[in-house]
């Protein structure tokens, strides 16, 4: 049986996947057990298809021709965004085609529903390319680790913010300067919000957590904080105390079975496996009840890496088509209880500007104590005589206790400004 | 359909797998799409089965009862060693049972033949647990990265030697002292040869390389050198030059398509992702033509980790049994050409004891030069007045050029001893 693939979208990912399918066709045929050919490509700009080496005869801007071609077995959706991608994916599934998607926003927002439609139609919906570029994540989580209850998942899943934080650390620069540089280099978008405000990481966490903890996840279930508030000073103190700062996407099962999901800048001990993941690399750290700690590491984006994930999924869907089966993928039915954000327990770092006079530290420490927050260490390094900067590292406490302390500091004259509040994980 | 599993061997791995199947039965049933039950266990010491919580009614020392039970669908072989495990696996396959094995020596030596027998009998032979404990390796290599030509594979796959080298580095101790300590702690066997002489790592490399490069591998194809020759002095110089020393299992495709396979102590730059893999952890670094660099990291042994891999395979085999399919796994037919060891290209570190008098370095450098070996740096730190120790770091050269230089040094009076010759990779 020959397997025919229709491609929707010929940007970086679509072009990358197409090139791999062409270049490695012989090897892929051997591994899939059948020849796999791209027979149609729909793209908004057919004139640019030549750059990927695509035969112009199979390229057009006609999506319908792909969705309705009865000879196409697998549709690879690499358009991005929710609409019209969602409509295309739905119709491809309903037409009996397996679908491979690298679209994180679509899968994060509509994954469970689309997986149910795939199941009803007896076809596959695979989305390895939607998280972590070429790093095998979804399949190992779903299959290799299937014997485990996953207790925790912690990842660096956004290359742009990891690049910015790595550069801020290496060059002791502030966020704004490094962002501008990243934008000039093309590592950050003109509107950087999707990356630096943590939306992209939240989409990826929704997908990974949905698989790892077998539950539908709403984007609003994820507490989200970006890296705009991280300054060179925070990194300076963190380094001094033996930590690095990373934008971490975290999912964790509480003892009672409730799930906490959050994306925020996080201090990690510098010997943590994620601490050395720099620049545009991604990595996901998983803790299972049997396997213990495992980590997956690699390039989180790009035509080759993400194309590799898409082609891996295409090969899987092709093998299934040839044998008349589909992957066992039951869309999760019941939703896990969510752990309230105020109840999360973690250590905090608080950097604040205070009036530099006797009794200040005692007064602030009193507020922390009254709120039930106990302090592990205090660093005071910078002072202009009038205002001093203090960096507090707390023992484990709850978010609500920290919130209570923060509310008090707003009333406290000696606290001129709370400059940042960061969390510590991975100890 | 209910899937029945027979277990052969109830040691650490067998017991671990059994416990996971029991503890997570509900979750496993959901993921497999069918209930999975262990219905028979054969072990040499049935009296010890209680420690794993096994019902004594299903435990005996009768292997035949497992192999010949028509109600058993999957046999999990966790005995270890070649015979009688090979005979049992063959007969289970011939009886139409899928087989899951965690037996590295068996799979390394007879994997291709056993895979062919599985194919002939329409059943699965899965062996994720044979390499890297619970780290997903075989499945991601074979499936997630199926679109890639794998160019290189480099791994820390033996926990005992990694523990010893990590401890030698942390404590600046010599091999013998740390080995004794590791033996007392139970991290090394009374006869440590399988680990410290690199046999275990070579078995694992044979398995991984067979999958990654799609070729049968003979153990004798692997150039193998253990860690007995690594001293505290080597680590001292390596550290000073920015390297760590790890026992590395390496597979690499040469430009012409020939495969080089070697296991030896190796200097890695300290910022290499494998450099921070310490103690009993394992990690495998893979380079694909599309995906670039990816790394898999986790615990390389133990009842939970290896049990996790075995259970993952059992779930896979169960899903296949229920759907009447098997994994597409064609045993490799043709063998790749092997790159001659003398022709490998690498950088070397050579530590030697020399007569401490004028002209010595020039004389030795002359020998290197005549052999075509060019020197990048020289460190001379230790001297007792009569004999000085010199540590040479070369530029990239061939093994045969280095062999030629070594032959000359044997003739050279001023070279009292070549204390170690180590290779550098990962730059």
Q: Which pLDDT tens digit goes with each residue over B395-423?
A: 999 999 999 999 999 999 999 999 999 99
Give the percent of chain A with pLDDT over 70.
100
- Nearest CB to A312; choose among B146, B311, B315: B146
Strand partners for A7 = A41, A76
Closest-CA distance, A332 to chain B, in angstroms, reads 10
Please report the DSSP string for A187-231 in residue order. Answer: SS-SS-HHHHTSHHHHHHHHHHHHHHTTS---GGGSEE--STT--
Residue A382's pLDDT band (boundaries 50, 70, 90)? confident
**Catalytic residue annotation of A:** 204
Identify the pLDDT of residue A256. 87
Of A28, A297, A328, the CB nearest to B147: A28
Residue in B32, B142, B147 nearest the CB of A308 = B147
- Our measurement of the distance from residue B164's CA atom to the centroid of its chain's CA atoms, rounded to an integer in Å, reads 16
pLDDT, tens digit, 9 for 90 and up, residues A298-318 = 999 999 999 999 999 999 999
**Coil, strand or helix at A62:** coil
Place of tokens 């507020």: A367
Positive or negative: CA dihedral B53, B57, B62, B66: negative
Two tokens, residue A354 = 């205070």
pLDDT over 90 (residue B43): yes
- Of all residues in chain B, the one with the smallest CA distance to A133 is B291
**Residue of B288, B316, B328 lying closest to A143 (CB–CB):** B316
Contact across the interface for B308 and A298, Cβ inside 8 Å: no
- Interface contact B134-A290, CB threshold 8 A: yes
Confidence of residue A383 (pLDDT cuts 50, 70, 90): confident
Chosen for mutation from A14, A34, A138, A291 (greatest number of chain B CBs closer than 10 Å) is: A291
Cβ(B66)–Cβ(B91) under 8 Å? Answer: no
Q: Which chain A residue is nearest to residue B22, measuring alpha carbons?
A: A147
pLDDT in tens, A352-362: 999 988 899 99
Residue of B14, B268, B291 to mutate, testing the A interface (most A Cβ within 10 Å of its Cβ): B291
Q: What are the extents of the domains in chain A?
A: 3-134+303-323, 138-299, 341-424
Residue-wise pLDDT tens digits, A187-221: 899 999 999 999 999 999 999 999 999 999 999 99
pTM: 0.96
The answer for residues whose C-beta is within 8 angstroms of residue B191's C-beta and 6 or more apart is none
Structure tokens that stand for B147 in this block: 């679109």
Q: What value does the mean pLDDT take over residues B180-203?
A: 94
Chain A residue closest to B146 (CA)?
A: A312
**B413–chain A nearest CA distance, Å:** 47
Fold of A3-134+303-323: Rossmann fold (3.40.50)
Asked if B147 lies within 8 A of A325 by C-beta distance, the reply is: no
Q: What is the pLDDT of residues A134-173, one digit of tens each?
A: 999 999 999 999 999 999 999 999 999 999 999 999 999 9
Model confidence pLDDT, tens digit, residues B316-328:
999 999 999 999 8
Contact A328 B319 (CB under 8 A): yes
pLDDT, mean over chain A: 96
- pLDDT given at position A255: 85
Indicate the pLDDT class of residue A57, thresholds 50, 70 and 90.
Answer: very high
- For residue A156, what pLDDT is reported? 98
Tell which residue, A233, A281, A286, A244, has the closest CA to residue A266.
A244
Residue B425: pLDDT over 90: yes
Sign of CA dihedral A211, A162, A310, A192: positive
pLDDT of B387 strictly over 90: yes
pLDDT at B309: 98
What is the separation of C-alpha A267 from the centre of its chain, rounded to a whole number of angstroms?
17
Asked whether A22 and A11 are in contact (CB, 8 A), the reply is no
A41: which residues sit within 8 A by CB, 6+ positions away? A6, A7, A10, A14, A18, A49, A54, A58, A59, A60, A66
B172: pLDDT strictly greater than 90: yes
Architecture of the CATH domain A341-424? 2-Layer Sandwich (3.30)
By CA distance, what is B297's nearest residue in A? Answer: A295
Contact A290 B144 (CB under 8 A): no
Interchain CB distance below 8 Å, B271 and A276: yes
Q: For residue A302, what are the contacts with CB-CB under 8 A and spacing of at least 6?
A: A12, A16, A133, A134, B292
Cα–Cα distances in angstroms (integers) from residue B209 to residues A99, A267, B189, in the given order: 31, 38, 26
The whole-angstrom separation of Cα B258 and Cα B267 is: 24
A-B CB pairs within 8 A amount to 191
Nearest residue in A to B143, CA atom: A312
Query: How far is C-alpha B17 from the geometric centre of its chain's CA atoms?
Result: 21
- Chain A positions touching B144 (Cβ under 8 A) are 128, 136, 139-140, 309, 312
Task: Provide mean pLDDT across the span A37-46.
Answer: 97
Domain A138-299 has CATH 3.30.360.10: yes
B335-365 tens-digit pLDDT? 999 999 999 999 999 999 999 888 999 999 9
Q: What is the tens place of the pLDDT at every residue in B106-159?
A: 999 999 999 999 999 999 999 999 999 999 999 999 999 999 999 999 999 999
Distances (CA, A) of A191 to B25, B66, B154: 48, 63, 39
Short-list B201, B213, B210, B191, CA closest to B266: B201
Give the three-class secondary structure for A252: strand
Could you tell me if B302 and B12 are in contact, meaning their C-beta atoms sit under 8 angstroms apart?
yes
CA nearest to B128 within chain A: A144
B298 contacts on A by Cβ (under 8 Å): 291-295
pLDDT of residue A24: 98
Q: Stretch B186-214: mean pLDDT, rounded?
A: 96
Q: Quick one: residue B329, left, alpha or beta (phi over 0 = left, psi -120 to 50 = alpha)?
A: beta
Question: What mean pLDDT is predicted for residues A10-22?
Answer: 97
- Which residue from A349, A292, A44 is spatially nearest to A147, judged by alpha carbons? A292
Catalytic residue among B97, B109, B167, B204: B204
B147/A330 touch (CB, cutoff 8 Å), yes or no: no
Residues of B in contact with A74 (CB under 8 A): none
The mean pLDDT value of chain B amounts to: 96
Which among A20, A295, A330 has CB closest to B147? A20
Query: How much is the pLDDT for B203?
Result: 98
């Amino acid at each position: 049986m020959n397997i025919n693939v229709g491609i929707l979208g010929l940007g970086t990912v679509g072009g990358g996947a197409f090139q791999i399918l062409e270049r490695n066709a012989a090897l892929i045929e051997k591994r899939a057990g059948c020849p796999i050919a791209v027979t149609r490509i729909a793209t908004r700009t057919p004139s640019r298809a030549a750059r990927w080496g695509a035969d112009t005869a199979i390229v057009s801007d006609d999506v319908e021709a792909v969705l309705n071609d009865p000879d196409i077995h697998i549709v690879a959706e690499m358009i991005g965004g929710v609409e019209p991608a969602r409509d295309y994916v739905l119709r491809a599934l309903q037409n009996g085609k397996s679908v491979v998607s690298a679209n994180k926003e679509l899968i994060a927002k509509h994954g469970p529903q689309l997986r149910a439609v795939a199941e009803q139609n007896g076809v596959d919906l695979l989305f390895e390319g939607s998280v972590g570029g070429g790093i095998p994540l979804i399949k190992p989580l779903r299959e290799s680790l299937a014997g485990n209850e996953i207790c925790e998942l912690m990842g660096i899943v956004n290359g742009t913010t990891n690049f910015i934080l790595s550069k801020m650390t290496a060059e002791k620069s502030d966020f704004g300067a490094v962002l501008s540089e990243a934008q000039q280099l093309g590592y950050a978008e003109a509107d950087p919000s999707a990356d630096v405000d943590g939306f992209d990481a939240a989409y990826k966490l929704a997908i990974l957590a949905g698989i790892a903890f077998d539950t539908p996840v709403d984007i609003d279930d994820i507490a989200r904080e970006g890296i705009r508030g991280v300054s060179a000073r925070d990194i300076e103190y963190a380094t001094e105390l033996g930590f690095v700062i990373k934008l971490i996407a975290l999912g964790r099962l509480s003892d009672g079975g409730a799930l906490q999901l959050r994306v925020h800048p996080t201090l990690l001990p510098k010997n943590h496996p994620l601490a050395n993941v720099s620049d545009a690399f991604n990595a996901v750290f998983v803790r299972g009840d049997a396997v213990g700690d495992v980590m997956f590491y690699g390039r989180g984006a790009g035509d080759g890496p993400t194309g590799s994930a898409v082609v891996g999924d295409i090969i899987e869907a092709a093998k299934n088509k040839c044998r008349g089966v589909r992957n066992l993928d039951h869309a999760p039915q019941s939703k896990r209880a969510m752990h309230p954000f105020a109840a999360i327990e973690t250590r905090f770092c608080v950097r604040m500007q205070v009036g530099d006079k006797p009794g200040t530290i005692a007064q602030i420490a009193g507020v922390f104590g009254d709120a039930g927050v106990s302090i592990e260490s205090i660093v005071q390094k910078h002072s202009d005589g009038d205002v001093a900067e203090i960096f507090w590292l707390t023992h484990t406490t709850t978010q609500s206790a920290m919130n209570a302390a923060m509310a008090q500091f707003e009333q406290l004259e000696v606290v001129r400004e709370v400059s940042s509040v960061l969390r510590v994980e991975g100890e």
